[in-house]
Amino acid sequence: MTRAQASDDGTPTDAMAKYYARYATLGVGLLITEATYVDEAQSRAYFNQPGMANERHKAGWAAITEAVRRIGRPVILQLQHGGRLAEPGLHSWAIGASGAKADGVSWQRALPYAEAPVRAATREEIKHIVESFGRAAERARAAGFDGVEIHGARGYLVDEFLSLPGASLEERLTLPLAVVQAVRRAFPEGVVSYNWSLYKMTDALYQPPGGSEEVERIARALAEAGVDLVHVSTRDLTRVEAFGEPFARAVRRAIPATALILNGGIRKLEDAERTLKEMKADFVAIARALLANPDWVERATKGLPLREFVRGMEHQPLLQTFM
């Protein structure tokens, strides 16, 4: 639910504090923030995206955690490196896993990724990226968050490394696991979540080359590296992948003792209940339905009509409501 309405320098705003506090007030049990960039080099993905790359950012987020925790809800900061999916024009060049340009157009301004220069990250830059996730987690801890979530999904940098064509799974796992370990060291008592998808912003049909066995190996590696929660994101949780079953089922089978959050196509209360029961999820995450209905919890539990999400809502002002 990236909203890209921070200040120009990435500092969270007062409006963002009110935005997140509204969800807490209206009954959301756990808040996971929008994607937040980790350093002031090439990690920012969008114009006006919030960051956790300096002390100004930390102070801005501290006001948000205070507002949310005053209501009694936990809040987790999602950390991201945009990689080659950074908005064209945002950086002189973008850093990627291989230097290959992404296909398609960008999310924020629908510009062709082919227009954005990209190069492969050097060894030193990879080391810096891992350290930046750790430093951002340290700031999150100091700002009052209950934990952090690593954005390892949808083709952004961490996921690009995990999906790099031609590399072995061990090679592809190197950066994601290093990031998990850096975050775990920086925030030892906090919750560490890993957001994971198969689909990419520019490839809705991506499949892991090793099928369900690869999915299971990745899930176990994440848990062993120190992840408390695996947050599976899909377009449709019931979709049967090329390896013969829904993505979430393979993840659940691999890590039965690790908490699992599932997201994808959950609109009504019945969707959430079915996901918890049939997919054996511990939590469900709701994005678009919640954006269209800030009071989703009340509406869903009382059987009141729900407003449909319409593309473009994510670009509207933070506190515009649809109640």
Tokens 């659940």, residue located? 252
Query: For the chain, what's the residue count?
Result: 323
In angstroms, the Cα distances linking 250 to 72, 203, 243, 254 are 34, 21, 10, 6
- Cα 111 from Cα 116, distance rounded (Å): 9
SS3 content of the chain, % helix, strand, coil (to 5): 40, 15, 45
CB atoms within 10 A of CB 311: 7
Contact call for residues 119 and 99 (beta carbons, < 8 A): yes
Residue from 156, 194, 199, 206 carrying the catalytic annotation: 156
- Cα 155 from Cα 203, distance rounded (Å): 8
In angstroms, the Cα distances linking 148 to 159, 176, 228, 267 are 17, 14, 10, 25
The DSSP secondary structure of 64-123, one letter per residue, reads HHHHHHTTT--EEEEEE--GGGSPTTSSSSEEESSSPPPPSB-TTT--BGGGS-EEEPPH
Whether 156 is a known active-site residue: answer yes
For the annotated catalytic residues, the residue numbers are 156
